[in-house]
Amino acid sequence: MKHSVLTSFFRSRATRIFTTAAIVCGSLFTAKLIVHADAVKTAADYNADPAAMLDAYRHVEAASVSDAMEQTLHEKRYMSHRMQAIFPTKFAGTALTVKLVKQENHDADALGGMLKAIDSGGPGSVYVMQVEDGADIAGMGGLMGTAMFSRGFVGAVVDGGVRDLPQLKKIGFPVYSTGPVPSTSVTHYRFGGMNIPVDCDGVRVNPNDIIVADQDGVVVVPRDKAADILVLAQKLDNSEHSMYPFIEKFHSIEEAVKQFGRI
């Protein structure tokens, strides 16, 4: 009898503990859902928090960013198929621009400004270089890439060639360029300016524009429109990613497009 009473007591106590724990866990789960819902940011939120905006750009696809700009600005601001990455990559950051002017010279300081530009950059920077008529000239190589990597640059986009790929791949520093070449810009080019508007593969890039790059290519987002573009790009991303399981389940892209309005 005593054993039965004790068993009943502990069972009752365990039930109360389990019920309390379930209520607490349920409350925490509900709170988590509420926090998650509140975490959706508006363009105004991103304008007020540039760091959060840049981080969010690292999680959207370049294709969605490109589509968002076409829909919002009615402009194509992506670089062509000529711009290729030395290895599959994804990054987003703010443009630090440099221009090299084609000019034969024997001036030891002709490219000094280019080096100074690299040392002026830091975490989150993207080195964006215009090399005049530079398809067969390496605008950067392993030394410059190592310096950028050490300073926290997230990547480089060079409208020209690139060399020293083994070193760049070894340190994992991502570079888009028109292709690998073994040549040098020394004695053939002169520094033409930093943090000025440049033309990179036919796209105008201003200092502090946001560069978004992944395996689909490189997109340039005007800084003053970046928050609005981001919010729309996130919506486009969400729609497309929701369509994949829908298509797999119902085996129809037509129905998916009707349902989500995205193609």
pLDDT category of residue 256 using cuts at 50, 70 and 90:
low
CA distances from 87 to 21, 122, 125, 165, 215 (A): 49, 22, 19, 10, 9
- Chain centroid to CA 246: 27
Residues contacting 120, CB < 8 A, separation 6+: 96, 194
CATH fit for domain 78-217, picks 3.50.50.60, 3.50.30.40, 3.40.50.10170, 2.40.30.170: 3.50.30.40
* Statement: residue 5 has pLDDT above 50: no
pLDDT for 245: 75
The DSSP code sequence of 96-164 is: EEEEEEE-----TTTTHHHHHHHHH--TTEEEEEEETT-TTSEEE-HHHHHHHHHHT--EEEEESEE--
- pTM attached to this predicted model: 0.81
Three-point CA angle 64, 65, 67, nearest 5°: 65
pLDDT for 255: 73
- How many beta carbons lie within 10 A of that of residue 45, not counting itself? 15
| Coil/strand/helix, residue 204 | strand
pLDDT category of residue 150 using cuts at 50, 70 and 90:
very high
| Coil/strand/helix, residue 63 | helix
Which H or E element spans position 52? Answer: helix 50-57
pLDDT for 258: 72
- Percentage of residues of the chain with pLDDT beyond 90: 75
pLDDT for 246: 63
Q: Find out whether 70 and 76 touch, Cβ atoms under 8 Å.
A: yes
- Percentage of residues of the chain with pLDDT beyond 70: 81
67-122 pLDDT tens trace? 999 999 999 999 999 999 999 999 999 999 999 999 999 999 999 999 999 999 99
* Statement: residue 38 has pLDDT above 90: no
Mean of the pLDDT values across residues 55-61?
Answer: 97
Distance CA 66, CA 74 (A): 10
161-212 pLDDT tens trace? 999 999 999 999 999 999 999 999 999 999 999 999 999 999 999 999 999 9
